Amino acid sequence: MEPTSDNRLMEEVRDGKVERLAILFERHHVMLFNFFLRLTGNRSLSEDLVQDVFFRILKYRKTYQGQSKFTVWMYQIARNVHVDHLRKQKQEVPLDEQFEEPAVAETPPIERLSAEVDAALLKKALDRLPLRKREVLLLSRFQEMKYREIAELLGCDIGSIKSTIHRAVKELGKIYFELQGGTSP
Amino acid sequence: MKCEQTREKSADYLAGELDEKSLAEVRAHLADCPACREELEGLSAIWTKLGVLPKEQPSASLRSRFYEMLEAYKEGMEKERARLDLGRNLSRWLGRLMPRKPAYQIALSLVLIAAGLGSGYLLSVRSRSAARTEVAGLKGEVDDMRRIVAVSLLKQASPSERLMGVSWSAQLDRPGDEIIAALLDTLNQDPNVNVRLAAVDALYLFYNHPEVKDGLVRSLSGQTSPLVQLSLIDLLVEIRERRAVEALERLIQDHDLNPKVKKRAEMGLTQLS
Residues A90 and A138 in one domain: no
Contact between chains at A172 and B46 (C-beta distance less than 8 A): yes
Q: How many CB atoms lie within 10 A of CB A145?
A: 21
pLDDT tops 60 at residue A108:
no
DSSP summary character for residue B173: S
The CA distance from B261 to the nearest CA of chain A, in Å, is 12
Residues A3 and A94 in one domain: yes
Please identify among residues 112-131 of chain B the ones whose CB lies closer than 8 Å to any CB of chain A: none
pLDDT tops 50 at residue A111:
no
ipTM: 0.80
Residues A139 and A92 in one domain: no
Measured between alpha carbons, how far is B182 from A171 in angstroms, rounded to an integer?
49
**pLDDT digit string, tens, across residues A137-150:** 999 988 889 999 99
Asked if B39 is an interface residue toward chain A (Cβ–Cβ < 8 A), one would say: yes
Number of C-alpha atoms within 13 angstroms, CB side, residue B186? 36
Residues A85 and A116 in one domain: no
Measured between alpha carbons, how far is B152 from B79 in angstroms, rounded to an integer?
16
Q: Which band of pLDDT confidence, cut at 50, 70 and 90, is reported for residue A1?
A: low
pLDDT at A169: 94
By C-alpha distance, which of A51, A60, A81, A27 is closest to B65?
A51
Measured between alpha carbons, how far is B183 from B206 in angstroms, rounded to an integer?
10
**pLDDT digit string, tens, across residues B163-173:** 888 888 887 77
Contact between chains at A163 and B11 (C-beta distance less than 8 A): yes
Q: Which band of pLDDT confidence, cut at 50, 70 and 90, is reported for residue A97?
A: very low
The CA distance from B145 to the nearest CA of chain A, in Å, is 24
Residues A89 and A121 in one domain: no
Q: Are A75 and A139 in contact (CB under 8 A)?
A: yes
CATH number of A93's domain: 1.10.1740.10
pLDDT tops 50 at residue A40:
yes
**pLDDT digit string, tens, across residues B84-93:** 778 788 877 7
Q: Which of A101, A129, A148 is the last residue of a domain?
A: A101
Do you know the residue count of chain B? Answer: 273
**pLDDT digit string, tens, across residues B144-184:** 777 777 887 888 778 888 888 888 888 777 788 888 888 99
Find chain B residues with C-beta within 8 A of A102's C-beta. Answer: none
pLDDT at B236: 87
User: How buried is B218 (Cβ within 10 angstroms: 0-12 exposed, 13-18 middle, 19+ buried)?
Assistant: middle
Find chain B residues with C-beta within 8 A of A46's C-beta. Answer: 58
Q: Radius of gyration (Cα) for chain B, nearest Å?
A: 34
Q: Which band of pLDDT confidence, cut at 50, 70 and 90, is reported for residue A67?
A: confident
Average pLDDT, chain A: 84
**What residues have CB less than 8 Å from B90, skipping those under 6 apart?**
none
> Could you write out the DSSP letters of every residue in A75-128?
HHHHHHHHHHHHHHHHHS-TTSHHHHSPPPP-PPPGGG--HHHHHHHHHHHHHH
Residues A6 and A76 in one domain: yes
Residues A145 and A125 in one domain: yes
Phi and psi for B20 in degrees, rounded to 5? -60, -40
pLDDT tops 90 at residue B267:
no
Handedness of CA B107, B109, B114, B119 (dihedral sign): positive
> Could you write out the DSSP letters of every residue in B5-66?
HHHHHHHHHHHT---HHHHHHHHHHHHH-HHHHHHHHHHHHHHHHHHTSPPP---HHHHHHH
Please measure the distance between the N-terminal and C-terminal CA atoms of chain B and give it in whole angstroms: 80
Q: Are A138 and A39 in contact (CB under 8 A)?
A: yes
Q: Is B176 helix (H, G, I), strand (E, B) or coil?
A: helix
> Could you write out the DSSP letters of every residue in B186-248?
HHHH-S-HHHHHHHHHHHHHTTTSHHHHHHHHHHHHH---HHHHHHHHHHHHHTT-TTHHHHH
Q: Is B146 helix (H, G, I), strand (E, B) or coil?
A: helix
Q: Which band of pLDDT confidence, cut at 50, 70 and 90, is reported for residue A113?
A: low
Q: Which band of pLDDT confidence, cut at 50, 70 and 90, is reported for residue A24?
A: very high
CATH number of A172's domain: 1.10.10.10
Contact between chains at A173 and B58 (C-beta distance less than 8 A): no
Q: Which of A44, A70, A101 is the last residue of a domain?
A: A101
pLDDT tops 70 at residue A102:
no
Residues A97 and A24 in one domain: yes
Please identify among residues 53-72 of chain B the ones whose CB lies closer than 8 Å to any CB of chain A: 53-59, 61-63, 65-67, 69-70
Measured between alpha carbons, how far is A176 from A167 in angstroms, rounded to an integer?
14
pLDDT at B131: 67
Find chain A residues with C-beta within 8 A of B14's C-beta. Answer: 165, 169
Q: Which of A130-139, B68-77, B235-244 has the highest mean pLDDT?
A: A130-139
Find chain B residues with C-beta within 8 A of A33's C-beta. Answer: 56-58, 62
Average pLDDT, chain B: 84
Structural domain of A30: 1-101
Q: Are B173 and B143 in contact (CB under 8 A)?
A: yes
Measured between alpha carbons, how far is B25 from B168 in angstroms, rounded to an integer?
66
Q: Which of A80, A101, A122 is the last residue of a domain?
A: A101
Measured between alpha carbons, how far is B237 from B204 in angstroms, rounded to an integer?
11
By C-alpha distance, which of A121, A119, A179, A167 is closest to B51?
A119
pTM above 0.80, yes or no: no
Q: What proportion of chain B, given as a percentage, has pLDDT over 90?
A: 9
Average pLDDT over residues B107-116: 87
Find chain B residues with C-beta within 8 A of A52's C-beta. Answer: 158-160
Total count of domains within chain A: 2
Domain ranges across chain B: 3-47, 149-272
Asked if B8 is an interface residue toward chain A (Cβ–Cβ < 8 A), one would say: yes
Q: Which of A61-65, B16-20, B241-245 has the lowest mean pLDDT?
A: B241-245
**What residues have CB less than 8 Å from A76, skipping those under 6 apart?**
A153
Measured between alpha carbons, how far is A50 from A36 in angstroms, rounded to an integer?
8
Phi and psi for B54 in degrees, rounded to 5? -70, 145
Domain B149-272 belongs to what topology?
Leucine-rich Repeat Variant (1.25.10)
Asked if B176 is an interface residue toward chain A (Cβ–Cβ < 8 A), one would say: no
Q: Are A46 and B56 in contact (CB under 8 A)?
A: no
pLDDT at B100: 73
DSSP summary character for residue B255: T
The CA distance from B47 to the nearest CA of chain A, in Å, is 7
